[in-house]
Amino acid sequence: MPLGMDRFLAETGIKEFDWRGRYWARWNDAVREAGFEPNSRPPKTDDDVLLAQLGAFIRELGRYPTVGEMRLRKRQDASFPNHKVLERAGTRRELVERLRAFCGRTTGWADVDALCSTIVATLPAATSTEAQDDIETGYVYLALMKIGRERRYKIGKADIVGRRTRQIAVQLPEDLELIHSISTDDAYGIEAYWHKRFAAKRRGGEWFELNAADVKAFKLRKFM
- The full set of domain ranges for the chain reads 5-122, 134-219
The answer to whether 66 touches 185, Cβ cutoff 8 Å, is: yes
List all residues 6 or more positions away from 159 whose beta carbon is below 8 Å from its beta carbon: 134, 135, 137, 138, 139, 187
Name the CA dihedral angle for 114, 120, 121, 122, rounded to a multiple of 10 degrees.
Answer: 120
Whether the predicted pLDDT of 149 surpasses 90: no
Query: Where does the pLDDT of residue 170 fall: very low under 50, low under 70, confident under 90, or very high at 90 and above?
Result: very low
The mean pLDDT value of the chain amounts to 77
The pLDDT of 101-128, averaged and rounded, is 81
Query: Where does the pLDDT of residue 174 fall: very low under 50, low under 70, confident under 90, or very high at 90 and above?
Result: low
Higher per-residue confidence, 175 vs 141: 141
The pLDDT of 71-91, averaged and rounded, is 81
The pLDDT of 162-168, averaged and rounded, is 56
Query: Where does the pLDDT of residue 189 fall: very low under 50, low under 70, confident under 90, or very high at 90 and above?
Result: confident
The answer to whether 215 touches 153, Cβ cutoff 8 Å, is: yes
Q: Which pLDDT belongs to residue 163?
A: 56
DSSP letter at 124?
A: -
User: How many angstroms separate the CA atoms of 1 and 16, rounded?
Assistant: 20
List strands edge to edge, sheet with 138-147.
176-184, 138-147, 150-158, 207-208
| Helix, strand, coil % over all residues of the chain, rounded to 5 | 55, 15, 30
Question: Within 13 Å, how many C-alpha atoms sit on residue 56's CB side?
Answer: 14
Higher per-residue confidence, 220 vs 184: 220
Query: Where does the pLDDT of residue 197 fall: very low under 50, low under 70, confident under 90, or very high at 90 and above?
Result: very high
Whether the predicted pLDDT of 214 surpasses 90: yes
The pLDDT of 65-91, averaged and rounded, is 80
The pLDDT of 55-64, averaged and rounded, is 90
User: How many angstroms separate the CA atoms of 45 and 98, rounded?
Assistant: 13
Whether the predicted pLDDT of 147 surpasses 80: no
> In the chain, what percentage of residues exceed pLDDT 70?
71
User: How many angstroms separate the CA atoms of 103 and 120, rounded?
Assistant: 15
The pLDDT of 168-196, averaged and rounded, is 75
Other CB atoms within 10 Å distance of the CB of residue 221: 17
User: How many angstroms separate the CA atoms of 200 and 203, rounded?
Assistant: 9
